[in-house]
Amino acid sequence: MKFEVPRKMFFPEIRSLYLAVFSANLLCFISGTALTWSSSEIPKLNNATETPWKRMLSAEESSWISSLVILGASVCPFLFGYLSDTIGRKPTLLYLGAPFFLGYVLLGFGQTVELFYVGRFLTGIGVGGVFTLLPMYLAEISEKDNRGAISSSIGCFCCLGLLFSVSLGPFISVQLFNLVLAMPPLIFLLSFFFLAPESPLFLVREEHGDLAAVALRKLGRKEDLITKEILELEASVKPEEDSSSLMDLFRSTAFIRALVMSMGLFFFQQVSGINAVMFYSQIIFEESGTTLNPEYCTIIVIFTQFLSSFLTPCIVDRYGRKLILLLSAMGMVVAEVPLGTYCYLKRRGASTELCAFVPVMSLAIFIVFFNMGFGPLPWTMLSELLPAKMKSVATAFVSTFVWILSFVVTKYFEQVVSVLGLGETFFVFSGFCLLAGLFSIFYLIETKGKSLQEIQEELSKS
């Protein structure tokens, strides 16, 4: 039985679903290149021989160029959420190719810092739209038995984008690198337009049941199950008729619980220490005594992320979300406590020669466990937990919360380290990871193998 799914993937009707998923996930690949763009380009912009405007950046300019992508991601989720409810998921996702393309063209040809500001902000708008809409779209085109694997595949493509960016960026010019990055948005526009259908759930909401059946056929659903799936989709949107306003939705127990669960997952994601681990990865390698160049250390870290990102899609629909999130949280605790202890002892002047391997080992363990659970699964569960009523608006709200929190954590992380110390900061993060494990096991509901309607029914229980 365990070999049944891989065999099915070779049938044309099954492949059509995965081609749609692949084309949609190109947006996550592009987002990955935008998120890690600074690691390779800021050093070149601070090099008088490589910068396009023949002067070095100030510290303030570097900070803005690095952070504008996060600010851009936080300003437009509500716009994209509104568009996805008005014109559909597919057209709105297609529009996301434009800010990426225009942003990278500006970064490729820009001759002033101001144009780089605009370019980074535009790519940030694209990133915000992707993580608002794509998890929702993937959940709506998948089946309940493969929804976890398909939804969590965004982590694989995002890590592939990260790896592509850090592997290519340091070795070519600023202009050439950005023009290369302007090509994937065009590939996405062509492939997604021809390979991916509109969300069946959106079509049912708009009372286009015949078009929903066409979309399900394009996604490879069996003919004798299409009618049953459309009836299930109609049942999931039926509660919308009983709620006339957003305020009615806030009186719903299911909605409040879904919102708290979603925001809780993302809160623990951001305070798990992932930003600290990535920011200090080079220092961690140096502490281990390595003589590798910084560029190669970054590539090693991202490559570890990329490899570990394949773990979740393989196990999430077999073992469930709650167990994997619990293991993820406990694994991060196991990684951060030794790392914090090492940094604490090092700062106090204690001899750490015998345990020089601890920083790199802890880094690897942390990355694997983060990517196994709290990296991709909050996005997966966000699309599963929120009800069909105002799903895009609620997703936009949570996405805005995520990006603002990410900006605050990233912006003020160094100040926290200067006050507490790096070791003590990792102890704080490990405490949050412990709380994340308790949150996962005692408050979250399991969504594995359940239809979206079944999830809402469970959330409605007191």
Residue 378 lies inside a defined structural domain of this protein: yes
What's the CATH number where 291 sits?
Answer: 1.20.1250.20
End-to-end Cα separation, the chain, in angstroms: 37
CA distance 269 to 66: 21
pLDDT attached to residue 436: 96
User: Cβ-count burial of 228 within 10 angstroms (0-12 exposed, 13-18 middle, 19+ buried)?
Assistant: exposed
Residue 394 lies inside a defined structural domain of this protein: yes
Residue 313 lies inside a defined structural domain of this protein: yes
> What would the pLDDT profile of 146-175 be if each residue is shown by its tens digit?
888 888 899 899 999 989 998 898 889 989
Q: Report the candidate in 31, 45, 20, 305 with the shortest Cα–Cα distance to residue 181.
A: 31
The reply to whether 167 and 268 lie within a common domain is no
The reply to whether 334 and 260 lie within a common domain is yes
Residue 218 lies inside a defined structural domain of this protein: no
Which of 196, 226, 253 marks a domain boundary? 196
> What would the pLDDT profile of 355-387 be if each residue is shown by its tens digit?
777 888 888 899 899 999 999 899 889 888 888
Which tops the pLDDT comparison, 9 or 85?
85
295-332 as b/e: b if 16+ CB within 10 A: bebbbbbbbbbbebbebbbebbbeebbbbbbbbbbbbb
What is the residue-averaged pLDDT of the chain?
85
Which of 196, 230, 252 marks a domain boundary? 196
The band of 47, judged by pLDDT with boundaries at 50, 70 and 90, is confident
User: Cβ-count burial of 264 within 10 angstroms (0-12 exposed, 13-18 middle, 19+ buried)?
Assistant: middle
Domain that holds residue 161: 10-196
Residue 232 lies inside a defined structural domain of this protein: no
The reply to whether 288 and 183 lie within a common domain is no
What is the model's pTM?
0.83
User: Cβ-count burial of 232 within 10 angstroms (0-12 exposed, 13-18 middle, 19+ buried)?
Assistant: middle
Instruction: Please count the structural domains in the chain.
Output: 2
CA distance 84 to 240: 17
The reply to whether 300 and 370 lie within a common domain is yes
CA distance 95 to 107: 19
CA distance 307 to 302: 9
User: Cβ-count burial of 381 within 10 angstroms (0-12 exposed, 13-18 middle, 19+ buried)?
Assistant: buried
pLDDT at 5 over 70: no
pLDDT attached to residue 380: 87
Q: Report the candidate in 21, 16, 26 with the shortest Cα–Cα distance to residue 189.
A: 26
CA distance 334 to 337: 6
The reply to whether 147 and 255 lie within a common domain is no
The reply to whether 80 and 174 lie within a common domain is yes
Residue 230 lies inside a defined structural domain of this protein: no
The reply to whether 250 and 374 lie within a common domain is yes
Residue 113 lies inside a defined structural domain of this protein: yes
Residue 4 lies inside a defined structural domain of this protein: no
The reply to whether 290 and 421 lie within a common domain is yes
> What would the pLDDT profile of 404-417 be if each residue is shown by its tens digit?
888 888 777 778 88
The reply to whether 133 and 261 lie within a common domain is no
Which of 139, 170, 196 marks a domain boundary? 196
The reply to whether 110 and 178 lie within a common domain is yes
Structure tokens belonging to residue 215? 């979309």
CA distance 85 to 34: 26
Distance of CA 217 to the CA centre of its chain: 29
> What would the pLDDT profile of 414-423 be if each residue is shown by its tens digit?
788 888 888 8
- Rounded mean pLDDT, 1-5: 38
CA distance 183 to 250: 43
Half-sphere exposure of 319 (CA within 13 A, CB side): 16
CA distance 123 to 97: 10
The reply to whether 150 and 254 lie within a common domain is no
The reply to whether 179 and 296 lie within a common domain is no
CA distance 193 to 109: 28
List, as one string, the DSSP characters of 169-214. Answer: GGGS-HHHHHHHHTHHHHHHHHHHHHH-PPPHHHHHHTT-HHHHHH
Question: What is the CB neighbour count within 10 angstroms for residue 46?
Answer: 16
Alpha helices in 246-390 (DSSP H): 246-250, 253-270, 274-279, 281-287, 294-308, 311-319, 321-347, 358-372, 377-385
Show the CA angle centred on residue 358, arms to residues 309 and 330, nearest 5°.
Answer: 50
